Amino acid sequence: MSLLKEDKRVNQISKYKEKAKEFIKDLNNKSLKDCLGIPKKLERNESVKKGWIHGKCVFKSGSGDRITEKRICKCFYYRNRCRKNSMCQKDNCKIRFFKKEYKLNNCDVLDYEIPINYVTSKIGEFDLLIKYGNDSYAVEVKPPNSKETILRMILEILTYDFCNCYNEDCPDDYNHNKERAIIKNNKADDNDKMKSGIYYELGIAFFQGFKQYHQFEEHKKNQDVIIKILKKYKISVFIISKDEDKNGYTIEKQDLC
């Protein structure tokens, strides 16, 4: 079973709760790797080994007004981390949402689109790495009006983390807490501590008032199988909301109880 590949089935609200129950049930008989549908062969990611540099953000007026996941992550990163040699063209950029700047006012956004240690052609990247309170989180982000479900977000962050923590000697085992489960940062970053790697927790983030927000409120109220999966794998939930006073957004960690 590969729920992550079955986008249409997972995204249907009438079926995805059944898929979540199926996922939990299968974990009793299969490894997490099999349940996620991760390919048997994974290759070392050379960009992690050698380091990487993000391309310049060249959004221009007239190039489209669709607020994508990638665009949000770039804006959250560049508009929170002001460096002299920033690749962001924010002075000329017109990106807004709810007439607000795309910036997070209450946490440090350490990086975006972070490559993971082991990959195949089907494996993506961590969307954001944020410092929230005393901890760092690798976070899967969905834009407003995204039709994807919370289950989909969970499967994505678990897949990426499994591949980041992959052990060639024990390919079916998953242990997020091992010391090697760290994220290497990009070459352009000016934080020496991060160049040697950083410990991180897992998280998913979505915007207040949209589909995933309403799903989460229902799951939390019922304490159903989705909440059980989040707790089982220690995946934190963050809600992004408008910050009227600071012309941007705040991101708040939620209590799952």
At 176-203, the pLDDT tens digits run: 876 555 665 566 655 554 556 788 999 9
pLDDT at 126 over 50: yes
251 φ, ψ to 5°?
-125, 125
pLDDT in the model for residue 236: 97
Mean pLDDT of 91-103: 67
pLDDT in the model for residue 248: 82
pLDDT at 106 over 50: yes
Mean pLDDT of 50-68: 68
Of 105-119, 152-166, 181-195, the range with the lowest mean pLDDT is 181-195
Provide the mean pLDDT of the chain: 80
pLDDT in the model for residue 62: 57
3-state SS, one letter per residue, for the chain:
CCHHHCHHHHHCHHHHHHHHHHHHHHCCCCCHHHHHCCCCCCEECHHHHHCCCCCCECCCCCCCCCCCHHHHHHHHHHCCCCCCCCCECCCCCCCCECCECCCECCCEEEEEEECCCEECCCCCCEEEEEEECCEEEEEEECCCCCCCCHHHHHHHHHHHHHHHCCCCCCCCCCCCCCCCCEECCCCCCCCHHHHCCEECEEEEEEECCCHHHHHHHHHHHHCCHHHHHHHHCCEEEEEEEEECCCCEEEEEECCCC
pLDDT at 160 over 90: yes
pLDDT in the model for residue 10: 46
The pLDDT tens digits for 196-240 are 678 899 999 999 999 999 999 999 998 999 999 999 999 999 999
Measured over the CA atoms of residue 132, residue 133, residue 136 and residue 137, the dihedral's sign is: negative
Reported confidence tier of residue 120, pLDDT bands at 50, 70, 90 = confident
Reported confidence tier of residue 9, pLDDT bands at 50, 70, 90 = very low
Mean pLDDT of 119-130: 85
pLDDT in the model for residue 153: 94
Reported confidence tier of residue 135, pLDDT bands at 50, 70, 90 = very high
pLDDT in the model for residue 204: 98
Mean pLDDT of 11-31: 79
CA 34, distance to chain mean position in Å, is: 21
